[in-house]
Amino acid sequence: MKKRFLFVLFALILTDSFAQEICNNNIDDDGDRLIDLYDVEDCPCTRMDTFKISLIPNPSFENTNCIPTGYSQLNCADGWSQATTATSDLLSSNSFSGNLASSSSIPDGSNYVGTVFLEDWMEYVGTCLNGPLLAGQSYLLKFNVASISNYAVWEADFSSVSVNLTLFGSTTCGSFPLPTTVCPESFGWKELGKISYSMRKEWNTVYLFFTPQEDIYSVMLGGECGFVNPSYNDLAGGIVYIFWDNLQLNLAEKEVIYYVPNTFTPNGDQHNNTFNPVFVCGYDPLEYRFDVYDRWGELVFTSMDAGTGWDGTYQGLPAKEGVFGWKLEYKAEDTSEKKVLTGHANLLR
């Protein structure tokens, strides 16, 4: 009788541990180390499903097991670890922000992370993934980023300073933190991709495409190996401090990825001087048209080239500040259907 009971109990445990995959709960239900839409055999859904879930757990740092009360408390965010002994900071508009909160609203929720970039003290954020990045597959990491130089010069403009935001990966989900305050490559971590970023206090959206050459089970984000401190004068004596939020990591499909700014400032300061949609991937450049209209419906600008935007002039003269309407026509690479979108944007000087 006892043997029969143990056999039934063992069978129930196996059934419970390796159940059918539920395709929208961010859990590996069937124990095959693949989650939701990345379990392609059990979830044969398209990547356009509305419940696409980031391979990075807790991507906006909103789920916490403690409230940050000071610097170096990233471990308060569920699923996240201090990637190295150079400790990064969990910041929150509801608790500890260290007087570093961005001047614009936080992109997703109330929490975000801050990391210092120095030659001998490079802070990274690290996590084990919900499912592996498969060798030879292309992926897209989309995230929000903002930055300052130091705590005393928040209002200064450091946009002339550029840094490479870098993604590293490991073929294992090992223990954190790595015993280093600099580059993780000497511990077997490999650079998966990087993108140049000009420092700005406003939150921006960044897209990083990459294709790993090996299966990757954990990642970390921070500065590139061989980082050199910007000059003292460029940073007004401060340091590079980068904010991260809303880290969405998914397969890079042939869907059209773009965004249209809602404000532009053609004032000649080398930033945000033209207005146009920004296409990341997936569109047919030969099937593109962008029109801008004034408040009376008069056409003030037309472009058939996604790389050419409106400079804020009409008939050779600067247009007045105000709200302008726009219409965008485009076609995806792999379809014959044209899309037409409309919206409004503010011209500020």
pLDDT tens digits along 166-207: 999 999 987 889 999 999 999 999 999 999 888 888 888 888
- When mean pLDDT is compared across 12-26, 53-67, 274-288, the lowest value belongs to 12-26
Integer Cα distance of 94 and 62 in angstroms: 11
Query: Which residues 6+ apart lie within 8 Å of 105 measured at CB?
Result: 203
Integer Cα distance of 225 and 298 in angstroms: 52
**Nearest CA-CA partner of 90 in 107, 108, 115, 109:** 115
**At 47, is the secondary structure helix, strand, or coil?**
coil
Structure tokens at 197: 């970023």
Residue 291 in this model has a pLDDT that exceeds 50? yes
For residue 325, the number of C-alpha atoms closer than 13 Å in the C-beta half-sphere is 10
**Nearest CA-CA partner of 90 in 61, 124, 131:** 61
Integer Cα distance of 139 and 245 in angstroms: 18
Structure tokens at 308: 């050419």
Q: Is the pTM of this model over 0.85?
A: no
**Each residue of 13-51: pLDDT tens digit?**
333 344 555 554 445 566 655 555 445 455 543 333 333
DSSP state of 72: S
